[in-house]
């Protein structure tokens, strides 16, 4: 796909903040970058201003899915050279739409080396991007940088393939995200020690999972219950099943909803599934966007439907 690169200087408008979507899942190879790039393509085709951020700081490849061979700037220019995030956004035109891209290919800096202050600076700049939507493509793993970036999102999306390792990695990732959010909320109330002590003493109190911890804390204090309810009311996971081949693969999404509710106590939406399709693999191999080259394919229609749903839910 030929993309005409253009630099666009934007002034930050006095409008509501951009809506941040983060795409994660814990395991690599599930199709996060494929989904993120095609959601961006669809949103931009509807006239939305979209910026993508490749947060896989050790192995960035989102630009390849967009047909971009060598981005001029990367997050290394933000972290190491002091450029602002707006300055390193490369804007590209694709069909009727255009999108911005920040690549995470930062050479000498990986996620484990990012300092806490650098992470906060990055988050601050992301929130100030002049765009309708910011889509963040997370790398594999459940390190703190990935978790905190996922928590930055207004809408959190996990992508899995119907394989046991992918499902297990996704569950561990979501559990780590939820645990960190609970801990941070108790810390904001000056009660971090209560939460951590309760968790460390869970065996003595016969607490076997996070759902039981939540129930125990909720019964122990009205204040604790209010904190937990505040987290639960604003914590929703959106699930996508990729590479579905059989009917039982499609049902995996509903099973995940039940597991997340039973063992973590959190609500989730099953956005839908993307069928296994050779067209998808051909697009990836050729560095083409599925929604541009094959907009009528079943997988393309599913992505459009998922995106419309995400746009319209609160």
pLDDT at 16: 58
pLDDT at 139: 83
CA atoms within 13 A on the CB side of 297: 21
**Chain CA centroid to CA 77, Å:** 23
Three-state secondary structure call for residue 98: strand
User: In this structure, are residues 104 and 73 in contact, taking their beta carbons and an 8 Å threshold?
Assistant: no
pLDDT at 111: 54
- Which residues on adjacent β-strands are paired with residue 273? 241
Q: What is the dihedral of CA 242, 248, 252, 255, to 10 degrees?
A: 170
pLDDT at 140: 81
DSSP code at position 3: -
User: In this structure, are residues 236 and 269 in contact, taking their beta carbons and an 8 Å threshold?
Assistant: yes
**Chain CA centroid to CA 298, Å:** 23
Which pLDDT tens digits describe the chain residue by residue (314 residues)? 444 444 433 444 444 579 999 999 888 889 999 999 999 999 999 999 999 999 877 677 888 888 887 788 888 889 888 899 999 999 887 667 788 999 886 554 455 567 889 899 999 999 999 999 999 999 887 788 899 999 999 999 999 999 999 999 999 999 999 999 999 999 999 999 999 999 999 999 999 889 999 999 999 999 999 999 999 999 999 999 999 999 999 999 999 999 999 999 999 999 999 999 999 999 999 989 999 999 999 999 999 999 999 999 87
CA–CA dist 123, 126 (Å, integer): 5
Domains of the chain, with CATH numbers?
17-164+236-254+268-312 (3.40.50.300)
């Amino acid at each position: 796909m030929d993309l005409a690169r253009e630099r666009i200087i934007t002034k930050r408008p006095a409008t509501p903040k951009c809506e941040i979507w983060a795409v994660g899942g814990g395991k690599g190879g599930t199709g996060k970058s494929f989904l993120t790039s095609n959601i961006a393509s669809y949103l931009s085709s509807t006239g939305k201003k979209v910026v993508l951020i490749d947060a896989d700081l050790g192995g960035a490849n989102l630009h390849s899915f967009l047909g971009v061979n060598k981005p001029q700037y990367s997050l290394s220019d933000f972290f190491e050279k002091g450029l602002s995030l707006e300055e390193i956004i490369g804007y590209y035109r694709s069909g009727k739409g255009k999108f911005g891209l920040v690549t995470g290919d930062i050479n000498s800096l990986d996620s484990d080396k990012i300092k806490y202050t650098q992470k906060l600076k990055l988050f601050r700049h992301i929130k100030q991007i002049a765009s309708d939507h910011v889509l963040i493509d997370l790398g594999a793993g459940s390190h703190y940088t990935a978790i905190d970036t996922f928590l930055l999102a207004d809408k959190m999306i996990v992508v899995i393939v119907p394989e046991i390792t992918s499902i297990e990695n996704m569950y561990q990732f979501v559990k780590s995200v939820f645990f960190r959010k609970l801990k941070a909320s108790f810390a904001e109330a000056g009660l971090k020690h209560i939460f951590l002590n309760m968790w460390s003493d869970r065996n003595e109190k016969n607490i076997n999972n996070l759902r039981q911890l939540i129930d125990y804390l909720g019964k122990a204090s009205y204040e604790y219950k209010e904190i937990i309810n505040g987290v639960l009311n604003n914590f929703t996971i959106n699930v996508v099943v990729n590479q579905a081949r059989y009917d039982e693969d499609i049902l995996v999404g509903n099973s995940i909803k039940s597991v997340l509710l039973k063992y973590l106590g959190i609500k989730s939406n099953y956005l839908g599934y993307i069928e296994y399709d050779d067209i998808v693999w051909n697009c990836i191999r050729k560095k083409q966007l599925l929604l541009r080259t094959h907009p009528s394919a079943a997988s393309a229609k599913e992505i459009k439907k998922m995106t419309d749903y995400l746009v319209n839910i609160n």
